[in-house]
Amino acid sequence: MPITEILEQNARLYGEDVALVELNPEQKETRRVTWREYELIEPSASDYYRREITWQVFNEKANRVANLLLSRGVKKGDKVAILLMNCLEWLPIYFGILKTGALAVPLNFRYASDEIEYCLNLAEVNVLMFGPEFIGRVEEIADSISKNRLLIYVGTGYTPSFAESYQELAADSSSLSPAITLTDDDYAAIYFSSGTTGFPKAILHKHMSLMHSCRTEQNHHGQTKDDVFLCIPPLYHTGAKMHWFGSFLVGAKSVLLKGTRPEFVLDAVTKEKCTIVWLLVPWAQDILNALDSGALKKEDYCLSQWRLMHIGAQPVPKSLIKNWQKYFPGQAYDTNYGLSESIGPGCVHLGVENIHKVGAIGIPGYGWEVKIVDENAQTVARGEVGELCVKGPGVMTCYYNDEKATAASLKDGWLFTGDMAQEDEDGFIYLVDRKKDVIITGGENLYPVQIEDFLRSHAAINDVAVIGIPDARLGEIAAAIIEIKEGFTCTEDEINEFCKQLPRYKRPRKIIFDKVPRNPTGKIEKPVLREKYCSGRLVESQITG
């Protein structure tokens, strides 16, 4: 069944229950806004500290979005892009688009103007709905992108001259569900890849994929109506939204937190009685650093109801989880692996019952198949490194308007992920590295993730990225970019001494102290580091964190 029917069902069964809460702790204004006030005044996302809507209002707002789009000529199969920061309007707009039979096209809020225009053209977008944070970027390209598409401004107050007002259009639109027939085989959304090798690729999914993501997430983490999910990552990305899908499926309340500071997270868990939190590695590490340093005290918060912490988007250091369990010994933990091409997290997951296998990304997820293959697409023996491939109802249909990239990634229903992995004797899969990130030094393959995992166990290291830099004799050598924890000091000699625990060929040949850049979904931006450090102008320094 199409995912829009879940929203209709929740509105019928739980209409008066809170569906979504938005928290903006950066704001000094702390007046609570109920769904009734919100329905009347439509405040912008930054006006209030806390806003909420019920399932009934959520559904009615989605219907208004659908009807306003239909009134402006949007039809089944069209594409509507969303360029918004996380806010209470985001998900009703997303579901309103789906209710028209059009495809929702979420855009990365970090995109520059040229990237926005590129994605709109690649996905053949008919409508762009954008928020106040993006007026300047959209204005730069308004003349070219408005020639063949509608621009709708989602905000209060002044509406840019090149756009129409969402507020005005929605106010004149019906709150009744439009009579559009949808099936599992209808196209639902286009997501964009991370774009680590240039401009991003457009990933096409059907309603079937979205529904499978709901079922996978709920199967893995057992969400019930009584759970409260804290959502921090950006909603444009499949990871955040598809983890929320498990709560959505059962009509549970969810909280959108704007801000990642440790005190924001723990305060939200306390005040909203959150039971499930999905974190990225840097945010989990920040919480631990704050607890270790005494900047935050666990006893100042009510965290006993917090039953599950899970992490995805990048390899998770064993040392992080070991330290986490010291502070939260009764809490369940899970690791989730996925790609936008596999409709986000869950095609591989550790499982809360497998905490003894921390370090692995896990086993095939609910409804998924997994294999590891060599360069000839033949399955490798257990223990050997190969490319991870996944197959299931959540695999993308194609890269939209890119037959060549589709043919390279989809073969006989299998998605070739580009991630290098190996399987242990118990069938658990360990991520070794991205295929393109493997360093070949003197004929030996080095997998940066393994070196990074080791270095993160050093008490002074907050974050680390290992990249290959050119070397006249060996072809490439491993360089470790190391970010030191606040309040700690460390030298290159100390790191080199620490690395003597590694086999000689795995030891980094170059130590660089610098910040480790990560994108909004927590992945290390290695292309940024390669551009900075692979030009022969290496920066050698010792800094105090």
Query: Position of tokens 């270790």?
Result: 292
Rg (C-alpha) for the chain, rounded Å, is 23
Residue 247 included in any domain: no
DSSP labels, 69-100: HHHTT--TT-EEEEE--S-TTHHHHHHHHHHT
The C-alpha torsion from 168 through 170 and 175 to 181, rounded to 10°, is 140
Domain CATH number, residue 398: 3.40.50.12780
**Overall size of the chain counted in residues:** 545
Query: Position of tokens 């199967």?
Result: 219
Domain CATH number, residue 521: 3.30.300.30
pLDDT at 300 over 50: yes
Q: How far apart are CA 296 and CA 278, in angstroms?
A: 20
Helix (H, G, I), strand (E, B) or coil at 103: strand
pLDDT at 304 over 70: yes
Question: pLDDT for 149-196, tens place per residue?
Answer: 999 999 988 899 999 999 999 988 999 999 899 999 999 999 998 654
Q: How far apart are CA 243 and CA 439, in angstroms?
A: 33
Q: How far apart are CA 276 and CA 220, in angstroms?
A: 12
Examine the domain organization and report whether 343 and 425 are in the same domain.
yes
Mean pLDDT of 358-378: 93
DSSP letter, residue 274:
-
In sequence order, what are the beta bridge partners of 206? 187
Q: How far apart are CA 224 and CA 222, in angstroms?
A: 6
Nearest 5°: phi and psi at 69? -65, -45
105 lies in which domain range?
4-8+53-208
Examine the domain organization and report whether 415 and 299 are in the same domain.
yes
DSSP letter, residue 270:
H
Examine the domain organization and report whether 471 and 353 are in the same domain.
no
Question: pLDDT for 107-153, tens place per residue?
Answer: 988 888 988 999 999 999 999 999 999 999 999 999 999 988 999 99
Question: pLDDT for 13-34, tens place per residue?
Answer: 999 999 999 999 887 544 444 4
Examine the domain organization and report whether 420 and 457 are in the same domain.
no
Residue 215 included in any domain: no
Examine the domain organization and report whether 68 and 181 are in the same domain.
yes
Measured CA distances, 338 to 110, 199, 420, 479, 499 (Å) = 21, 21, 13, 27, 31
Residue 300 included in any domain: yes
pLDDT at 537 over 50: no
Closest of 101, 93, 106, 5 to residue 42, by C-alpha: 93
Residue 248 included in any domain: no
Examine the domain organization and report whether 399 and 267 are in the same domain.
yes
What sign does the dihedral 129-132-133-134 (CA atoms) show?
Answer: positive
pTM as predicted: 0.82
pLDDT at 487 over 90: no
